Amino acid sequence: MGDTMISLRHVAKRFPGTRTPAVRDLSLDVDRGETVVLVGPSGCGKTTTMKMINRLIEPTSGTIEVDGTDVMAQDPVRLRRGMGYVIQSIGLMPHRTVAQNIATVPRLEGWDDARIDRRVRELAATLRLDEELLDRYPAELSGGQRQRVGVARALAVDPPVMLMDEPFAAVDPIVRAVLQDQFLDIQRRLRKTIVFVTHDIDEAIKMADRIAILNLGGVLEQHAPPEEILREPANAFVEEFVGAERGLKRLALIKVSEIDVDEGPVVSPEDDAEKARALIRDGGFGWVSVLEDGELLGWVDEAMLEGKARVSDATPRRFSAYVTAEDSLRQALDSIVTSRTNVAVVVTEGQRYRGILTLERVSREIVS
Amino acid sequence: MGPEDSERHRDMSEPGFFSEVVEWFADPLHWEGSFGVPSRLVEHLIMSGVSVLAASILALPVGMYIGHSRRLETLVVSVANLGRAIPSFGLIFLAVLVMGLGLDFPASLRPAALFALTLLAIPPILTNTYVGIQGVDPDTLEAARGMGLTEGQVLRGLELPLAAPLIMGGIRTAAVQVVATATLAAVIGGGGLGRFILDGFATGDDAQIFAGALLVALLAVLTEVSLGLLQRAVSPRTSPGRRREVPEPTPVAGPAA
């Protein structure tokens, strides 16, 4: 990428009547199509920083450019119409239906009714909002539905920039995870430039292309992809903020397909049972995988091969759990520690065998 | 009352008093001409209507401005307290001292009466307008501004519709007080239903006093009920088929009558 969409240069904000500035001197770039998550303890100025981008708060000094234009040189109303805005409490208009709420900005922009109606239905489909909800009022929605309407409303005129202030914080953890996954899925298609504020480091790790960790007074401690922040915290503050389980959090970011897997002991059905028995003894697992033209049939152990001449004479047992190449190492680790064999078997689509992952192999990724 | 009075006057407890009131209402003379019930009723309505209208024109924009901008908020509290502290009876006489009886004006538009009634109506309208507008959820406002609504769009599209029930409640409270208090206009030579009461005192006609009081009370109740319906009508829907709960007018706005 490298194509800057939002650029903050030496931005400071001092609220009248306060001794310490909310933001002292912050410079930060957000690339086009990138999700940057501002995260930090309360009082770190993350929300203030976000609100300065759409001028709900005006900076005391410094410049903020969006798409190359200084925000202070633009009409705030026009500036804001070009940016989606979602806040934690969503703030839907209680006297307007869901459809009317979503249509707020299109209506202000003078779209005709047919176009508005089409767009509202399209967004309802994108956010997986049942069309029958469109005529309801916000008071009749569940928390998760309200968040979806808030995101739909922010996306209404397809703005290139989205500002999101703890948009999923008000719902329970299960609904939150669903909303996060859904939003990631939408973002993969829409490639908006997103500034996302949260106090939850796990949410930041999950949502961010890059995380900006802020300390009190808007001091930027580290601005890097989640994986790098977990691997190389820039200082003690970041390390403490990222918290315990840093290794586990990193594993959640690495896909099985990104690392080399061990081949593991394999035989084909045509092989002698004697060869299989040797592999079982030497392989250290007590069993061997049976592959037919690369397809995983299952596993056999010595007891199953008892009195058999060929591997094909025995009936391989299927593995109870697999890991696919798209799963994370954290899921692989879960599979390893819960399986009887202490190994995760990796398959790709169509049960194509890729290899095995052991505890030793995964822990190499944590320490590296 | 002196002994002579007790011979002329008939007391409500005496038998036959209510039939006298009924007779008073049945007398066609009491329904004709500029001294009849219809004319006095119209005078009373004009006097009350003009006062509430004038108070609305003054108080609504001020209340909206203060509620929207959150500036000068102490002004609302001061006006509300002042309204409670000053009795309208005294206010009418004070107005007469300043502007005279204004006998050149029609009986329903005596300046002193209109002045006092308008001042009486301002506090509830001002207070409720302010409370209604500043009570709109700040997150809803922030989201609206964040989406690029102008301040005027925020006021028209969000604050006014959501505050409408409370604003209407303030007008309702003011109107009922004004209708009841407009009776006092007769004391300074004005018109309205108060004339029946005052003239009844002058002629010792208790049945007429009672009839006048009854008419004022009925009109006040009718005002309360009809403006209550209007208040319901302006309440925005927040769910299909059901209108938002109509909030009761705030109690801070009731000046002494």
Closest partner residue to A77 (CB to CB) among B141, B148, B239 is B148
Rounded to a whole number of angstroms, the distance from the CA of A140 to the nearest CA of chain B is: 7
Same domain, A336 and A238: no
Let me know: does A238 contact A222? Beta carbons within 8 Å.
Answer: yes
Residue among B137, B140, B145, B147 with most chain A CBs within 10 A, to mutate = B147
**Binning pLDDT at 50, 70 and 90, where does residue A347 land?**
confident
**Binning pLDDT at 50, 70 and 90, where does residue B247 land?**
low
Same domain, A140 and A216: yes
B158: chain A residues, CB-CB within 8 Å: 93
Residues A91, B150: C-beta atoms closer than 8 Å: no
Instruction: Give DSSP secondary structure letters for B45-69.
Output: HHHHHHHHHHHHHHHHHHHHHHHHH
Same domain, A49 and A183: yes
Q: Using CA atoms, how far apart are residues B185 and A76, in angstroms rounded to an integer?
A: 53
Q: Look at residue A63 in the predicted model and tell me its pLDDT.
A: 95
Q: Look at residue B242 in the predicted model and tell me its pLDDT.
A: 53
Q: Look at residue B246 in the predicted model and tell me its pLDDT.
A: 53
Give the residue ranges of DSSP H helices in B106-159.
111-134, 138-146, 151-154
**Binning pLDDT at 50, 70 and 90, where does residue B254 land?**
very low
Same domain, A166 and A222: yes
- Over the stretch A12-51, which tens digit does the pLDDT of each residue have? 999 998 888 999 999 999 999 999 999 998 889 999 999 9
Same domain, A265 and A248: no
Question: B143 touching A, CB under 8 A?
Answer: yes
Q: Retrieve residue A46's tokens.
A: 């993350």
Closest partner residue to B148 (CB to CB) among A81, A94, A140 is A81
Residues B146, A137: C-beta atoms closer than 8 Å: no
Task: Out of A254, A277, A304, pick the residue that ends a domain.
Answer: A254
* pLDDT exceeds 70 at position A280: yes
Q: Look at residue B155 in the predicted model and tell me its pLDDT.
A: 95
- Over the stretch A75-131, which tens digit does the pLDDT of each residue have? 999 999 999 999 998 999 999 999 999 999 999 999 999 999 999 999 999 998 999
Q: Look at residue B35 in the predicted model and tell me its pLDDT.
A: 87
Same domain, A108 and A192: yes
Q: Using CA atoms, how far apart are residues A12 and A25, in angstroms rounded to an integer?
A: 5
Q: Using CA atoms, how far apart are residues B181 and B86, in angstroms rounded to an integer?
A: 13
- Over the stretch B42-77, which tens digit does the pLDDT of each residue have? 999 999 999 999 999 999 999 999 999 988 888 888
Residue A270: domain span: 257-367
Residues A91, B140: C-beta atoms closer than 8 Å: yes
Q: Retrieve residue A94's tokens.
A: 């209680």
Q: Establish, for the pair of chains A and B, how many residue pairs have beta carbons separated by less than 8 Å.
A: 73
CA dihedral A229, A231, A236, A239 (to 10 degrees): 70
**Binning pLDDT at 50, 70 and 90, where does residue B241 land?**
low
Q: Look at residue B245 in the predicted model and tell me its pLDDT.
A: 53
Same domain, A232 and A278: no
Rounded to a whole number of angstroms, the distance from the CA of B232 to the nearest CA of chain A is: 14
What phi and psi values does residue B189 have, to the nearest 5 degrees?
90, 10
Task: Out of A225, A254, A283, pick the residue that ends a domain.
Answer: A254
A89: chain B residues, CB-CB within 8 Å: 139
- Over the stretch B188-203, which tens digit does the pLDDT of each residue have? 888 899 999 999 998 9
Residue A247 CB coordination number (10 Å): 16
Task: Out of A205, A234, A254, pick the residue that ends a domain.
Answer: A254
> B162 to chain A: nearest residue by CA?
A95
Q: Look at residue B100 in the predicted model and tell me its pLDDT.
A: 85
Q: Identify the residue with better confidence: A118 or A318.
A: A118
| Least confident span in A95-99, A213-217, A300-304, B128-132 | A300-304
Q: Quick one: residue A357, left, alpha or beta (phi over 0 = left, psi -120 to 50 = alpha)? A: beta
Number of domains in chain A: 2
Question: Tell me, what CATH number does A359's domain have?
Answer: 3.10.580.10
Let me know: does A202 contact A41? Beta carbons within 8 Å.
Answer: no
Same domain, A264 and A301: yes
Same domain, A215 and A346: no
- Over the stretch A142-198, which tens digit does the pLDDT of each residue have? 988 999 999 999 999 999 999 999 999 888 888 888 899 999 999 999 999 999 999
Question: Residue range B138-165: average pLDDT?
Answer: 94
Question: B245 touching A, CB under 8 A?
Answer: no
A154: chain B residues, CB-CB within 8 Å: 147
Question: Tell me, what CATH number does A63's domain have?
Answer: 3.40.50.300
A135: chain B residues, CB-CB within 8 Å: 240
Question: A93 touching B, CB under 8 A?
Answer: yes
Closest partner residue to B238 (CB to CB) among A104, A108, A139 is A139
Q: Look at residue A159 in the predicted model and tell me its pLDDT.
A: 94
Same domain, A198 and A313: no
**Domains of chain B: residue spans and CATH:** 31-236+243-253 (1.10.3720.10)
